[in-house]
Amino acid sequence: MKKLILVWALSVSVPPCADADEGMWVLPLLKQQKFAEMQALGLKLQDYDIYHPDSSSLKDAVVIFGGGCTGEIISPEGLVLTNHHCGYSQIQRHSTLEHDYLTDGYWALTREQELPNPGLSVTFIDKIEDVTAYVAARLEKDEDLGGMNFLSPAYLNTLAREKAGEQFLQEHPGTEVEIRAFYEGNQYYMFTKKKYSDVRLVGAPPSSVGKFGADTDNWMWPRHTGDFSLFRVYADANGNPAEYAETNVPLRPKRWLKISIKGIEENDFAMMIGFPGRTNKYYTSWEVAERRDIDNAVRIHIRDLRQKAMLEEMLKDPDVRIRYASKYASSTNAHKNAIGADWAIQKRAFEQVRQAEQDKLIAWAEQMNKPEYPEALRMLEQIVSDRKNLRFRSWMLDEALARGIEFTGIPTDIQAVADALKGKDKARQQEQIRLLTLAYHRFFNATYSPKVDKKIAKIMLKEYRHLVPAHAQPARFSIIDKKFKGDTDRFVEHLFHTSIYGNPDNFSAFIQNPSARVLERDPMILFAKAVQEERKALVSALSDFDSNFASERRTYVKGLLEMYGDQAVFPDANSTIRLTYGQVKGYSPRDAVYYQCQTTLDGVMEKEDPENWEFVVPQRLKALYEAHDFGPYRMADGKMPVAFSATTHTTGGNSGSPVLNARGELTGINFDRNWEGVGGDIQYLPDYQRSIIVDIRYVLFLIDKYAGAGYLLKEMEID
Ligand code: ARG
Ligand code: ASP
């Protein structure tokens, strides 16, 4: 797996501040840091229209949707817009064979038909405060055993609760407070949030629209996906968060977005507010190389093998295709992301750019007599080098075994069952067998096929044993050599043949005649346990590096902030609310090729392929297309808009983010990036990176003309 790294003789210049469209900006700093540039690009609003510390502003219409997406409020009655892929699991959970909302879409015709979703929440950000001085004072005072207080969520949230006061929290149900570290722990903000847990599904297009193009088009531009779904937030009679109750009423929000169907044009100002998850802007050159040569190399290589085998089985058998559709999608999503990141690392010489920045810091620090910065860099280089082997083993274990082989996830805590079987207490035995059966069904579920797992396990185990040195493999694997002469295929066959988890017949036979001895010697359970234990050991060994690494990196970033001045750079994404701005723009992916910034329904029809589930176009959409029945949503040239691209700097978590024009009106919903742009998680690529956005006119057209749910538009402010 060693890669020949071509080091280019490039002269790289380090920009003192961010590229024009680069950045995920923190709202309280926006005014000083970026507002003038935004206005120069065309923004017509004042800074307090976007963010006001004490009164209502645009940011109040933007919410955290569920665990990892963004959503926006678009009506005074609590309608929330997000992506189809963000509401996917909710739509899936309401679907049955008779009412298959994933396939057919869903539209509530009345409020009563809006469907509750236990576990789903919508969170507003009420208040943002700079608490850097407060945290610094406490860090001085408090005991810090692991040396990680300055980044520890548990520690920081205790401080947040203390600062807010328990009484305040009790008097405000649904209110939560949290302190988050920025610039690797050089700055802190406290967020006061309000979390609503009665969120109901209002509507979703069929997957053939909401997921059109599926994996083939994922991370791709030009794009033709109607990736949206619609929900509504409910509250108690006082407008406070409350668990689901029939008596709850639609939330009357502080703020909702106005919608513009006037459309967009190339070079128009565009901005987004959202919750980007994680970026690695402050990677050192050594981490860039580590990411490419270990993390991405292992991921790409192993998933190539796994996905090929999975796809073969999916294409052979429609039952397998349904079972593995979602697993395949999530595997390819991260796989393509890693490929795109490597492409960008090479294309824009990230490693050399970082090296140059480090050299610049070292030279500056020498002049300023600040030896701690060069020292921090030396330490970071050392740690990356020291953790190399462990990191490789850990990635191999995760990708090839823990994720790659599904049965390594079977329940291995069988001691209670075995103990009960050894004892005389019949009731206890029955109870334990009942629990074991439940766990078995949870594993052996509608997304599992032992045939597929067996085939993939053979490939994964062979590759793992080939690439990881024998002494670095779990000790238990020695039986593969001893008993099976190193033949991993025969070993895997043996596991499936003998284990109670190997196939449903084995399990029923065991349940008929349960025995502690069989359970304790089950080879698949023992194998899974060995992998799970190895995983724990590796995580713990690697975490020994973490606290040193984090504190050296904090010092390194402190140096950068001092050298550049803290007005010029933005902190890494950390799932907190951010603003990014830029322009509606196409791009040139290759010599002589230019991708325009707007796609239309014509492109949907060009991609149509009734034989391929990814590109089926529903009959009704075709009929509307043929009749040119686009209502007020058509463009000046008569075409129906579908998606557009913009230079905004986004990442995972920005899905569902509102895209706003110069007047702050909603023009689209962000849902993806192009694969050439995913390297932007490390370093923005002005000429390549684009956010992929579903045009709001397509969304309204689908609600109004396609679904016949035009009554919902009456709640919205559309201009
Ligand atoms: N690439 C998009 C985002 O990360 C969309 C993912 C969902 N779609 C899919 N085909 N897997 O996360
Ligand atoms: N598709 C991503 C998301 O789900 C967005 C991105 O990575 O650009 O958040």
Distance from the CA of 612 to the center of ligand 1, in angstroms?
19
Average pLDDT over residues 123-150: 96
Confidence label for 565 from pLDDT (cuts 50, 70 and 90): confident
pLDDT in tens, 489-506: 999 999 999 999 999 999
pLDDT in tens, 171-221: 998 999 999 999 999 999 999 999 999 999 999 999 999 999 998 999 999
Structure confidence at residue 62 (pLDDT): 98
Check if 307 has its Cβ closer than 6 Å to any atom of ligand 2: no
Token pair 């702050």: residue: 664
The Å distance, Cα 329 to ligand 1 centre, comes to: 8
678 part of a folded domain? no
Residue 600's DSSP bridge partners are: 641
70 lines ligand 2 (CB under 6 A): no
Atom number in ligand 1 closest to CA 218? 10
Does 643 have pLDDT greater than 70?
yes
Residue 217 CA: nearest ligand 1 atom is: 10
Q: Is residue 340 part of a domain?
A: yes
pLDDT for 1 equals 44
pLDDT in tens, 502-552: 999 999 999 999 999 999 999 999 999 999 999 999 999 999 999 899 999
Determine the Cα–Cα distance for residues 670 and 667; give it in Å rounded to an integer: 10
User: 709 pLDDT exceeds 70?
Assistant: yes
Ligand 1 atom 11: the closest Cα is on which residue?
Answer: 329
The finding on whether 652 has its CB within 6 A of some atom of ligand 2 is yes
**Which of 207, 330, 651, 655 gets mutated to test ligand 1 (max ligand atoms within 8 A of its CB)?**
655
Please tell me the distance between residue 85's alpha carbon and the centre of ligand 1 in angstroms. 7
Question: With contact defined as beta carbons under 8 Å apart, do 561 and 183 qualify?
Answer: yes
Q: Are 213 and 224 in contact (CB under 8 A)?
A: yes
Concatenated DSSP letters of 157-202: HHHHHHHH-HHHHHHSTTEEEEEEEETTTTEEEEEEEEEE-EEEEE
Q: Is residue 250 domain-resident?
A: no
Q: What is the mean pLDDT of residues 437-466?
A: 96
What pLDDT was estimated at residue 2?
Answer: 42
6-20, 53-67, 324-338, 351-365: the lowest-pLDDT one: 6-20
Report which of 662, 677, 667, 671 is spatially closest to residue 19, judged by C-alpha positions: 677
* 106 part of a folded domain: no
Give the mean pLDDT of 161-176: 95
Q: Is 555 a pocket residue for ligand 2 (Cβ < 6 Å)?
A: no
Work out the pLDDT band at 329, boundaries 50, 70, 90: confident
For the segment 592-614, the average pLDDT, to the nearest whole number, is: 96
**Mean pLDDT, rounded, of the chain:** 95
Within-domain flag for 510: yes
Give the number of the ligand closest to the Cα of residue 219.
1
Output the pTM of the full model: 0.92
Atom of ligand 1 nearest to the CA of 337: 1
Q: How far is the CA of 213 from the centre of ligand 2 (A)?
A: 16
What is the number of the ligand 2 atom nearest to the C-alpha of 691? 8
Q: Which ligand is nearest to the CA of 645?
A: 2
Ligand closest to 67 (CA) is 2
User: Residues 616-638: what's their mean pLDDT?
Assistant: 98
Mutate to test the pocket of ligand 1, among 83, 209, 218, 326 (most ligand atoms within 8 A of CB): 218
Q: Whose CA is nearest to atom 2 of ligand 2?
A: 652
Q: Which of 704, 706, 713, 710 is nearest to 209 (CA)?
A: 706
Distance in angstroms (rounded) separating the CA atoms of residues 689 and 667: 20
- Both tokens of 159, joined, read 């401080």
Report yes or no on 462 lying in a domain. Answer: yes
3-state secondary structure of 480: helix
**Per-residue three-class SS string for 205-240:** CCHHHHCCCHHHHCCCCCCCCCCCEEEEEEECCCCC
| pLDDT-based confidence at residue 19 (cuts at 50, 70, 90) | low
- Amino acid, single-letter form, for residue 288: V
| Nearest CA, atom 1, ligand 2 | 672
How many secondary structure helices (H) and strands (E) does the chain include? 27, 19
Q: Structurally, how many domains does the chain consist of?
A: 1
| pLDDT band at residue 710 under the 50/70/90 scheme | very high
Q: Which residues line ligand 1 (CB under 6 A)?
A: 85, 214-215, 218-219, 329, 333, 652, 655, 672
Q: How many Å apart are CA 222 and CA 639, to the nearest integer?
A: 16
Question: Ligand 2 mean position to 291 CA, how many Å?
Answer: 20
Max Cα distance, the chain (Å): 81
Token representation of residue 201: 């599904």
108 Cα distance to chain centroid: 28
Tell whether the model's pLDDT for residue 95 goes beyond 90.
Answer: no
Ligand 1 geometric centre to CA of 494 (Å): 37
What Rg value do the Cα atoms of the chain yield, rounded?
A: 27
Burial (Cβ within 10 Å: 0-12, 13-18, ≥19) of residue 471: exposed
pLDDT tens for 379-420 read 999 999 999 999 999 999 999 999 999 999 999 999 999 999
Q: Is residue 706 part of a domain?
A: no
Pocket test for ligand 1, best of 307, 332, 672, 693 (most atoms within 8 A of CB): 672
Give the residue, out of 333, 615, 651, 692, with the most ligand 1 atoms within 8 A of its beta carbon, to mutate for a pocket test: 333
Residue 454 domain boundaries: 285-348+388-543
- Does residue 85 sit within a domain? no
Return the residue matching tokens 């939560």: 176
Predicted pLDDT of residue 18: 58
Measure CA 465 to chain center: 31
> 679: CA distance to ligand 2 center in Å?
13
Would you say the CB of residue 656 lies under 6 angstroms from ligand 2?
no
Tell me the per-residue pLDDT of 418-436, one tens digit each, with 9 for 90 and over: 999 999 999 999 999 999 9
84 CB less than 6 Å from ligand 2?
no
Could you give the CA distance from residue 526 to residue 532 in angstroms, rounded to a whole number? 10
Task: For ligand 2, say whether the CB of 650 is within 6 Å of any of its atoms.
Answer: yes
Give the pLDDT confidence score for residue 236 in this predicted structure. 97
Whose C-alpha lies nearest to ligand 2, atom 4?
A: 655
CA of 218 to the centre of ligand 1 (A): 6
Q: Which amino acid is at 711?
A: Y
**Mean pLDDT score, 628-651:** 98
Q: Rounded to an integer, what distance in angstroms lies between the CA atom of residue 183 and that of residue 251? A: 36
Percent of the chain residues past pLDDT 90, beyond the cut: 92
Residue 12 has pLDDT above 80, yes or no: no
Residue 452 C-alpha to ligand 1 middle, in angstroms?
23
Indicate if the pLDDT at residue 371 is higher than 50. yes
Mean pLDDT check: name the lowest of 100-104, 305-309, 354-358, 564-568.
564-568
Catalytic residues: 85, 227, 655
**Residue 226 tokens, joined:** 């109607």
Provide the β-strand partners of residue 717. Answer: none
Amino acid found at 191? F
